[in-house]
Every structure is written in C-alpha cells, then in structure tokens.
Amino acid sequence: MKLFWAPNSRAMRALWMLEEIGQPYERILIDIRNGAQDRPDYRAINPLGKVPAIDDDGVIVAESGAVIAYLGDRYPAANLAPKIGDRTRGPYLKWLFFTACIEGAILEKFKKLDVPKSTAGWGSYALVVEALDQALQKGPWLLGDHFTGADVVIGSDLWFGCDLFKIIEKRPSFAAYIERCLARPALQRAMAIDKAASEAAASKS
C-alpha cells in the first residue's frame, strides 16, 4: 500500500487511518509547496493534483473520503468500517460523504460567500455546524461506542476547521470530540510523522 501525501494537508486523515489499521504501508512525499502535485507522474495518479491518494498494487484511489472508505473495507480486521449489509453502514457512509458538506461550509465562512441554501449543496455553514453538533452530543464517536473511519474524516475536518484554521466555531461538543481524537495513539503517531516531515522541509528551505 502506497500513500501519496504531504505534511500539513488533508493527507493527514489517510495517514491517521493507516496508523489506525497498523498494516505496513509506504509513504511517498508529494511536495505540494514546490509543485510536485502538478508533475505529469503525479497527475497520472490524481488528475486534480491533490493529496491524499493511495496505490494498492495498481488500484489508485484519490479523494480522502473514498480513501478512508476503501482502506476501511480493505482491512476488515481493523474493524474501522461496518460490514456491507450492516445497518450502521448507513450513518457511516453519510458521515464519510459529509466531508464534502464541511468543505463547502468552510469555504462559505472563510470567503464570506452569500449562497442561497437551495443553491449550496451543503445548505449553509450554520446548518452544517448544527448537524455536526447534534451528531456529537452523545458520543463518544459518531456511531456511538464504535470508532470508525467516519471519525477519522470528521475528526480531521473539525480539527482542521476549529484548531488549525480557526474557521469553525469550537462548540463544546466539538472540543470534547477533538480531544478524544487527539488522545488516540494512531493520530499521535500520524501527527509525529507529519511534524517530522514539516520540520525536515523547513530545515531545507
């Protein structure tokens, strides 16, 4: 399993997922701050020139929600994805896809976009934040006691939006959820890998 990634990016969620799974994988650094994502060899992997992407012995998957879904199914022993036919797969998939709504909501808030609710696929920033707040009232995870890949995606989005970029207001339910995510050893390992790569890049420039 190869992971195409860059530190300080949305590739963190794929790194976190692979650390949760605990099977061997190879990291291939795509230096997005120096244009490596737009070289023809990487565009052949992801025509959008975005990380993350994975290559599973010739099966290429890009788009972080899809990457997490694929990895969850590919490594069932890690128990990070409800099985096909299990009813909890419904909410699991909903939250994996919800990352697209969060992306829209963050953009709306950050760029002060005025988009009618009926036009915006995500509804509105306020509706997205409310939906997340409601879903995280109970916890500890989106599916209750069972941590899944959906938490990797939504936990990453909330950490990114609340802590890193401070665009999403940090409601108490978000703060508690982010704290639970940050306590996971797999995320701590992924963050250490990310930090080491960032520091190595900074020391070269």
Ligand X SMILES: N[C@@H](CCC(=O)N[C@@H](CS)C(=O)NCC(=O)O)C(=O)O
Out of 64, 124, 148, 156, which residue is the one contacting ligand X (CB under 6 A)?
A: 64
Nearest approach, Cβ of residue 4 and ligand X (Å): 9
Out of 37, 124, 148, 156, which residue is the one contacting ligand X (CB under 6 A)?
A: 37
C-alpha–C-alpha distance, residues 174 and 132, integer Å: 8
Out of 15, 21, 32, 45, which residue is the one contacting ligand X (CB under 6 A)?
A: 32
Stretch that binds ligand X, among 20-28, 43-51, 85-93, 165-173 (CB under 6 A): 43-51
Does position 50 bind ligand X by CB under 6 A?
A: yes
Of 102, 188, 192, 190, whose CA–CA distance to 142 is shortest? 102
Nearest approach, Cβ of residue 57 and ligand X (Å): 21
Residue entry with tokens 């949760």: 20
Nearest approach, Cβ of residue 30 and ligand X (Å): 8
Q: Parallel, antiparallel, or unpaired for β 2-5 and 26-29? A: parallel
20 Cβ contact list (under 8 Å, min separation 6):
78, 80, 152, 184, 186
How many C-beta neighbours within 10 Å does residue 191 have?
Answer: 17
Does position 109 bind ligand X by CB under 6 A?
A: no
Does position 49 bind ligand X by CB under 6 A?
A: yes
Does position 51 bind ligand X by CB under 6 A?
A: yes
| CA–CA distances in Å: residue 14 to residues 60, 125, 140, 150 | 14, 25, 21, 12
Residue entry with tokens 């696929």: 121
133 Cβ contact list (under 8 Å, min separation 6):
171, 173, 174
Shorter beta-carbon distance to ligand X: residue 48 or 144: 48
Q: What is the DSSP letter of 55?
A: E
Nearest approach, Cβ of residue 140 and ligand X (Å): 25
Stretch that binds ligand X, among 49-57, 163-171, 174-182, 189-197 (CB under 6 A): 49-57
C-alpha–C-alpha distance, residues 201 and 184, integer Å: 26
Shorter beta-carbon distance to ligand X: residue 64 or 124: 64
Out of 4, 10, 141, 158, which residue is the one contacting ligand X (CB under 6 A)?
A: 10
C-alpha–C-alpha distance, residues 101 and 191, integer Å: 25
Shorter beta-carbon distance to ligand X: residue 14 or 129: 14
Question: Residues interacting with ligand X, by CB under 6 A?
Answer: 9-10, 32, 37, 49-52, 63-64
